[in-house]
Structure 1
C-alpha cells in the first residue's frame, strides 16, 4: 500500500520474518510432514471455527471420524464445520501445486466451507449480490458495527484485491497483512468470510515461497486476542495510522505464532521419535513404524481404519500389536468394543498436545 511510513514497524517486520524463516527450516526437517503435522492442521481448523462460535474440540472431531459422534446436535454441526475447513485447506493446497491462487478457487473453497452447515443457504460458492453487515442478532444496517461495500462494487474490488495478492511487494508479510484486511473489508460472501480470510494466510505464505508447504496455524493467536483482532480490523479507514496499527498487530501475530509453531513442530517430532523407539521395542515388528505413522495421521481410530497397504499384517497380528501397545500405555481405550461396534483407541499424548 503506497504512502505508508513503516519505519515504526521495521523491527517487527524483521522479527516476524526471522521467526517465520526459522519455522520454515523446522518444517523442511520434518520427515513426512503430511503425516506428522496432520493433527495440528486439525487444531487450526478447530480454532479458526471457534472464532466463529463453534464449541467442538479436537478430540470431538477425532472421535467423530472414528465413529463416535457427539451426543449434542449442535456439537455435531460444529464438527461438520471443522471438517469442511480442513477439507477446504486440503483442496487449496492441491490446487496450488499446479496453478496460482484465483478468485474461482476462492469461490470453490467457500462452497466447501459451507457444505451442509450454517450458511449453506447463503449463496454458497457465489460472491454476494446483496448488501450485508455485521452486528448482533436483529441489528439493522444503521446500527451495524461494520457495513461492507455495496454489492455492485464487489467484482471490481475483488479484481483489484486479486491483482494485489499476486503483486511482488518489498515485504511479503506486510503485503499479507493488507491482503487479509482487504479481504475482510470487502466481505465478498454472505457468510464464511472470517474462516476464508484465515485460510488465506498459509496459502499466501506457501505461494510466496515463505513456507515449503501451506502449514501455518495462526488461529491460536487470533483466538487468544479475538477482541484486539476484530477491533483492529474494524478501526481500519483511509488514515495511514489505522493501517500501521493493523499491520503491527498482524506482524506481531505472525511472529508469536511462528515461534509457537516452531516449538510445537519440534515437540511433535520429539514425541514421534520417542514413540518410535517404544513401539519398535514393544511390538518387535517390521510394521512398527508404518503403524506409528497411521497413529499420527489418525490419532483416534478403530482397528478397521488402520491400513498398512499390501503385504501388511493379518488382522489377528494387527489386533495383537494394538493390544500390546494398549497394555504398554501408548494407546488408550476411548470406547470398548461391543458386538458389531468396534473398539476405539487413542494416541493420547498426541491428542492432548493438540488440545493444548
Structure 2
C-alpha cells in the first residue's frame, strides 16, 4: 500500500469566474500489496475480535430481542455525526411525545432504523450493489430533511463538503459525469476474487464511497450503514451487532482527518489502521454490551420471581422491553391480556422492583423506561 495513489485534482469550467477543482479518485479494482507491519498486526487483531463477537452473538439465546436496540444505537450515533441532537431515550419515544423543534431529528433517526432493517432484509435477494445503495438511500431520505434532494438517485450536479459555497469548500468530490464509472468500479472491487482481506476491502470501500459522495445528501449515513451490510454479506457477522458510528462520532475529527490525509498525501495505511482500530474497539464494546445484557436479564428475571402468579406476565413484558424499553400501561394491557387496573398494578410492581422508571412526571399518559437496560447502549 506504500505505492497507493488516491487520485488527482481536475479543473472544471475553465472560465476564471466559475472555475473550480474537484478530486477524482483512482479506481479501486486492482491488486494491492499489504506490506506494512503495523497494518498487518492491527488487521490480525481486528479479525480476531470481530470473530469472537460473531461467535458470542451466535451463542446468545433470543438475540433478536436485542438487535433492534443495537440498530437504534447506531442510527442515533450516525445521525449525530451529521448534526442531529436526538438521544437514545428520545429516539424510542412515540412521535406524539417528541417536541416539535426536534421532531425532524427524531424522524431522521427512525428513517435510518427502517432503512437499515429493510436493507438487511433486501440483502437476502440483492447483493451489495448500486441498486441496493439507491433503494436504501431512498428509504433514508423519504419524508425527512433531504427529501427534496433526489432520494435514491445519483446526483446530476456538483456537491461539496464544508464551506458556504463551492469557492470556500473544504473538499469537492468528483464531477457527476464520473459517478457511474466510479460506482461500478466500487461494486466490482467489493465482489472481485483478488486475495485481499475482507476488512481491508471494507475500509477501502468506505473511504472510496465517502470520497465519491454520489448523492446530494445522506452520503455519510448511507456509507456507515453499508459497513454493517458488507460485514453481513461477507459472513463476518451472522447478526447485525457491530456498528462503527459511535467510534467515528467519538473520534469525529480524527475520522475526517484520516479520510482527508489519504486524498492529500496518498497515505492509505493510516486510514486502514484507524478503521481497523475502530473494528477492534467497537467489537470489544459490543461483546461487553451483550455480556452485560445477559447479566441484567438474569437479575431482572430473579427480581420478578417474587411476583408469584404474575411473574409469567412480567416475563412477557420484559421480553417486549428488550426490544422497546419505553412502554405505557396500555401496551402492557395489550401484551398481558389483563384489565387496565391489573396492568397498571403490574407496572407499579416493576417500578417498585426498580426495573421501570416513570419519565413524564405526569399523572396521565405516562411513559416508563427500562433505564438500566437502555443505559447499556448509551455508554457503549
Match of 2:178 in 1: 153
Q: How far does residue 33 in structure 1 lie from its aligned partner after superposition?
A: 1.9
The partner residue of 1:52 within 82, 94, 107 is 82
The partner residue of 1:143 within 168, 171, 187 is 168
Residues 197-246 of structure 1, C-alpha deviations (whole Å, 9 max, x = no match): 1101111111100011222121111111111110111222396x511111
SS at match of 2:159: coil
Residues 178-201 of structure 1, C-alpha deviations (whole Å, 9 max, x = no match): 111111111110010000011011
Match of 2:31 in 1: 2
Residues 110-166 of structure 1, C-alpha deviations (whole Å, 9 max, x = no match): 111112222111111111111111112x23x24321111110110111111111122
Question: Kindly tell me: are residues 102 and 5 of structure 1, through their superposed partners in 2, closer, same or farther at Cα, counting changes over 3 Å?
Answer: closer
The partner residue of 2:153 within 101, 108, 126 is 126
1:209 aligned onto 2:235: yes
Question: Kindly tell me: are residues 11 and 327 of structure 1, through their superposed partners in 2, closer, same or farther at Cα, counting changes over 3 Å?
Answer: same
Cα distance between partner residues in 2 of 1:2 and 1:84: 37
Question: Kindly tell me: are residues 307 and 242 of structure 1, through their superposed partners in 2, closer, same or farther at Cα, counting changes over 3 Å?
Answer: farther
Question: Kindly tell me: are residues 337 and 144 of structure 1, through their superposed partners in 2, closer, same or farther at Cα, counting changes over 3 Å?
Answer: closer
The partner residue of 1:22 within 52, 75, 87 is 52
Match of 2:124 in 1: 97
Q: How far does residue 3 in structure 1 lie from its aligned partner after superposition?
A: 3.8
Q: Which runs of 5+ in 2 are unaligned?
A: 1-29
Q: Which runs of 5+ in 1 are unaligned?
A: none
Q: How far does residue 318 in structure 1 lie from its aligned partner after superposition?
A: 2.8
Match of 1:231 in 2: 257
The partner residue of 2:296 within 271, 275, 281 is 271
Task: Please say if residues 26 and 266 of structure 1, whose CA atoms lie closer than 8 Å, have aligned partners that are also in contact.
Answer: no
Q: TM-score, normalised by structure 2?
A: 0.86
Cα distance between partner residues in 2 of 1:268 and 1:52: 29
1:186 aligned onto 2:209: no
Cα distance between partner residues in 1 of 2:237 and 2:36: 26
SS at match of 1:37: helix
Cα distance between partner residues in 2 of 1:76 and 1:58: 14
Task: Please say if residues 333 and 340 of structure 2, whose CA atoms lie closer than 8 Å, have aligned partners that are also in contact.
Answer: no
Cα distance between partner residues in 2 of 1:300 and 1:283: 24
Match of 1:294 in 2: 320
Cα distance between partner residues in 1 of 2:331 and 2:138: 28
Match of 1:113 in 2: 140
Aligned residues: 347
1:254 aligned onto 2:279: yes
Larger Rg over CA atoms: 2
Q: How far does residue 326 in structure 1 lie from its aligned partner after superposition?
A: 1.6
Task: Please say if residues 334 and 345 of structure 1, whose CA atoms lie closer than 8 Å, have aligned partners that are also in contact.
Answer: yes
Match of 2:6 in 1: none
Question: Kindly tell me: are residues 307 and 29 of structure 1, through their superposed partners in 2, closer, same or farther at Cα, counting changes over 3 Å?
Answer: farther
Relative contact order, higher structure (CA 8 A, sep 6+): 1
Question: Kindly tell me: are residues 135 and 270 of structure 1, through their superposed partners in 2, closer, same or farther at Cα, counting changes over 3 Å?
Answer: same
Q: TM-score, normalised by structure 1?
A: 0.91
Question: Kindly tell me: are residues 279 and 152 of structure 1, through their superposed partners in 2, closer, same or farther at Cα, counting changes over 3 Å?
Answer: same
Cα distance between partner residues in 2 of 1:108 and 1:152: 21
RMSD after superposition:
2.0
Cα distance between partner residues in 1 of 2:253 and 2:84: 17
Task: Please say if residues 241 and 286 of structure 2, whose CA atoms lie closer than 8 Å, have aligned partners that are also in contact.
Answer: no
Match of 1:35 in 2: 65
Q: How far does residue 307 in structure 1 lie from its aligned partner after superposition?
A: 7.4
SS at match of 1:116: coil
SS at match of 2:94: helix
